[in-house]
Amino acid sequence: MWPTVLAASAFLLAVIVLVLVFHRRRRNRLYQQLARERAQIVANHPVRLAATCPEQYAAEFAKRPLVRIPDFVATESLEAMKQEALDNLHRVERTYLPTHKKGGTVSYEAISRYAPHCLSFYHSPEVQNWISMITGVKVYPTPDQDQSSLSLLCYTETGDHINWHYDHNFYKGRHFTVLLPLINRSRDGGPSASQLEYKISQEVETCDTSPNALVVFEGVKVLHRATPTREGDTRIILSMTYCSDPRNDWRKELLRRIKDIAFFGIRALWD
Ligand SMILES: [Fe+2]
């Protein structure tokens, strides 16, 4: 009896390991292919910035780890990204974690395939130079398999929100969250009810997430949340992460994947 059970268990385990190994290889090939295609996409969809003087924001960021830069991109670039966000709403992956989060996300992989202006913005050398100048360290995009490296956070249903949290750092270098609100409106035309609130000291502050205001913060230092939307609200934010050294080890990679279940469901563990 026991030898049969042991043999069956060993066989099952071997099958699971083989499936995971083949899946990992297939995903790695996909990420390599997307990375190869990316340079041409970025070249074909240049981003035009409207903001000037990153030095001014660098001085501010040196004092507190959150800055907001209004009117960051030129109108045509903003409109192109906004249209891509709306065109990709059917690709949203929705998750609900009681008491913590409810909302939809379009993954980095989907953006790489279907939202070239958003992809181009994230990989724009000019944008990276801005973030590097503001933060005072040279930053790089986080890895391709990290689906939160670049994503669209889509609050389109009543009560979409995320509760108080830090953006934990799963990489070797310093890690920054960069948000570019694309759409933030209620049914009657005003802003949505969802507010970005944060605490650097004890006091709760509100960050204006009107479209085209770039928000840069160091997620491990800034406790933050997005309050719930009301019926008829639409709030779509291009969310990006940059890091001064985007390498990690398998333990941090596993923790990152567990965290990403909140955004992409259980597939975050193996995709
Ligand atoms: Fe966050």
CATH number at residue 256: 2.60.120.620
Per-residue H/E/C for 115-153: CHHHHHHHHCHHHHHHHHHHHCCCCEECCCCCCCCEEEE
Instruction: Give the distance (Å) from ligand 1 centre to CA of residue 23.
Output: 29
| pLDDT tens digits, one per residue of 34-58 | 999 999 999 999 999 999 989 999 9
pLDDT of residue 23: 85
- pLDDT of 264 above 90: no
Nearest to 160 by CA among 201, 101, 222, 240: 101
pLDDT of residue 69: 97
Cα Rg of the chain, angstroms: 20
Instruction: Give the distance (Å) from ligand 1 centre to CA of residue 219.
Output: 7
pLDDT band at 134 (very low <50, low <70, confident <90, very high): very high
In a domain, residue 5? The reply is no
pLDDT of residue 37: 93
Nearest to 239 by CA among 182, 165, 200: 182
In a domain, residue 28? The reply is no
Classify residue 235 by its DSSP letter: E
Instruction: Give the distance (Å) from ligand 1 centre to CA of residue 132.
Output: 20
In a domain, residue 15? The reply is no
pLDDT of residue 188: 92
Instruction: Give the distance (Å) from ligand 1 centre to CA of residue 224.
Output: 6
| Mean per-residue pLDDT of the chain | 94
Instruction: Give the distance (Å) from ligand 1 centre to CA of residue 2.
Output: 49
Number of structural domains in the chain: 1
In a domain, residue 6? The reply is no
In a domain, residue 75? The reply is yes
| pLDDT tens digits, one per residue of 62-108 | 999 999 999 999 999 999 999 999 999 999 999 999 999 999 999 99
| pLDDT tens digits, one per residue of 233-246 | 999 999 999 999 99
Higher pLDDT, 249 or 123: 123
The whole domain housing 244 covers 45-269
Instruction: Give the distance (Å) from ligand 1 centre to CA of residue 52.
Output: 26
In a domain, residue 96? The reply is yes
For residue 58, which phi and psi values (nearest 5 degrees)?
Answer: -65, -40
Classify residue 49 by its DSSP letter: B
Nearest to 257 by CA among 116, 159, 265, 184: 265
Token pair 């974690």 is at which residue?
97
In a domain, residue 2? The reply is no
For residue 82, which phi and psi values (nearest 5 degrees)?
Answer: -60, -45
Instruction: Give the distance (Å) from ligand 1 centre to CA of residue 165.
Output: 6
In a domain, residue 34? The reply is no
Instruction: Give the distance (Å) from ligand 1 centre to CA of residue 220.
Output: 9
Instruction: Give the distance (Å) from ligand 1 centre to CA of residue 20.
Output: 30
pLDDT of residue 199: 97
- pLDDT of 271 above 90: no
pLDDT band at 59 (very low <50, low <70, confident <90, very high): very high
